[in-house]
Structure 1
């Protein structure tokens, strides 16, 4: 069995009270080559709250990672259906 190395980079941008994050998974596969999956997340600071950028970064990044996990799960589910056919009710 070959070792695999998947990397996730999180890119964070701030614009006023909004923080956006993208979690980009890059996977190397000997037969399929390189593939990427991207999850996105947003955090919005309430203007009456103190500006603490780390909290916005953490929230946006966690939401991007959650979105990435959902997208990856959906890809795996689609692959299973392609290989085995749809589940019967």
Structure 2
């Protein structure tokens, strides 16, 4: 039997001078929420390219989210098995 569930992901960007911040929010189908952040800092001598800063900040936020999810999954496994979980990204 196949089960399909969904989740919602939202991402926001804030630009302050050469700094671009991304915040990603994940809401799982069971209501669990996780937040992660990423930043990109443009060299002041480089030309302004907001999309590039957003791409870098987004990639870092999603990477942070992936690490948080692996950590949470490991903790959930350990609660049930009472053994150390070894999960890799």
**Shorter-normalised TM range:** 0.7 to 0.9
**Structure 1: 4+ residue segments shifted above 6 A:** none
TM-score by length of 2: 0.88
Bigger fraction of residues in strand: 1
- Secondary structure in 1 matching 2:45: coil
What value does the CA root-mean-square deviation take over the aligned residues?
1.0
1:9-88 matched pairs, under 5 angstroms: 9-29=10-30, 34-87=31-84
CA offset digits 1:12-36 (Å, max 9, x no partner): 110111000011111122xxxx111
Q: Higher relative contact order at CA 8 Å, sep ≥6: structure 1 or structure 2?
A: 1
TM-score by length of 1: 0.88
Question: Unaligned 5+ residue runs, structure 1?
Answer: none
Question: Unaligned 5+ residue runs, structure 2?
Answer: 85-89
